[in-house]
Amino acid sequence: MQISQAGLALVKHFENCLERTADGRFRAYYDPVGVLTIGIGHTNHGGGRQFGPGAVWTQAECDAELASDMYRADQDVNRLVKVPITQNQHDALSGFQFNVGKLGESTLLRKLNAGDYNGAAQEFHRWDKGRDRRTGQMVRFRGLIRRRAAESLLFQGIIDANYDGEPDAVQPVSIQPPAPTSRVESPEGEAPPVAAPTALPMPQQVEPPPVLKELKPMSKSSISWASIGNWFTTHFAFVGVIWEKLTTPEGLIIFGVFSLAVTTFTVMVIKGRIDIGKMWAAMTSDQARA
């Protein structure tokens, strides 16, 4: 990615060609912090063409060296930034690197590469100081304050047409383009456009389906018990009829006597006083003799 015309416009606004001669060329000069400069912010510290205090360049030479300087700044940004950025963000970072030259050691870059875009935008404002060549003290320069504010706004995509470091009163309204449409053929050959389906966000973590337990085959005993249950279900109506009879006074007496007899018989069987086998054998032998 390389700096756009919008990014170059910001750089040129703060880096004018100064010390113009009578014949239209430009002399070298010292900036407010004592750095020898020529053309559009070109110095001997950022690489490129070297020059001395008496150098005089034409406008074409100034423009050519600006293009060379911005190419190096673009390459620095492309090499150092590890996260996706927009054209506006690249322009702001290239302009910053061209002027400061310390993007690689900045907290701005560290926050940006960590994905903190908002935090990175606020870091521009910290780079507004320089050493006063007369006093030797670190001071804030009004030009740097405005420049860093303009770069921060550009990084955030906020319009600042006059580069005063303040958002313009009127900002462009973001209008979403209409959804693409697809046509569905009807028997008549015409149909109104149908909006194409919007893709749903893909889940980031898909859980595996639950593991189903292996079903064991039903045993014979289980089948017999199931058959017994089915038998009682089919005979439930008969049980209901008997229950209606038992709710009468005579039925309750009969049920009580019957229950007492069954209970007594069961207890005697359990205690061994009645041998079911012998009883059954006696019954079958009597039937055989009859």
pLDDT digits (tens), the chain, 290 positions: 999 999 999 999 998 888 899 999 999 999 888 899 999 999 998 788 999 999 999 999 999 999 999 999 999 999 999 999 999 999 999 999 999 999 999 999 999 999 999 999 999 999 999 988 888 888 999 999 999 999 999 999 999 999 999 999 877 655 444 444 333 333 444 444 444 333 333 222 222 333 345 445 544 444 455 555 555 555 554 555 565 666 677 777 877 777 788 788 777 878 777 777 777 677 666 555 65
The CA distance from 44 to 203, in Å, is 53
Query: Using the 8-state DSSP alphabet, how is residue 191 labeled?
Result: -
Taking the mean position of all CA atoms in its chain, how far away is CA 252? 75
The residues near 12 (Cβ < 8 Å, ≥ 6 apart) are 40, 66
H or E, element range at 261: helix 249-271
Q: Could you tell me which residues come within 8 angstroms of residue 150 by beta carbon, excluding any fewer than 6 positions away? A: 10, 13, 14, 160, 163, 164, 165
Task: Please tell me the number of Cα atoms within 13 Å of 250 on its side-chain side.
Answer: 2
Contacts of 269 (CB under 8 A, 6+ apart): 276
Contact indicator for 103, 77 with CB cutoff of 8 Å: yes
Residue 244 identity: E
- In angstroms, the CA 77 to CA 59 distance is 27
Q: Is 98 exposed, middle or buried (0-12, 13-18, 19+ CB in 10 A)?
A: buried
Distance of CA 29 to CAs 20, 38, 153, 248, Å? 10, 6, 30, 124
Q: 5-155 has which fold?
A: Lysozyme (1.10.530)
Spot the catalytic one: 15, 76, 91, 151: 15
User: Which residues of the chain are in CATH 1.10.530.40 domains?
Assistant: 5-155
pTM for this model (two decimals)? 0.58
Identify the pLDDT of residue 146: 96
Paired tokens of 210 = 């639950």
Distance separating alpha carbons of residues 21 and 61, to the nearest angstrom: 14
Whether 15 is a known active-site residue: answer yes
So what's the pLDDT on residue 220?
47
Containing 29, the helix (H) or strand (E) segment is: strand 29-30
Which residue is associated with the tokens 């015309």? Answer: 5
The answer to whether residue 31 is catalytic is: yes
Q: Which of 31, 116, 128, 132 is catalytic?
A: 31
Report the C-alpha gap between 177 and 173 in whole angstroms.
12
pLDDT of amino acid 189: 43
Predicted pLDDT at 283: 67
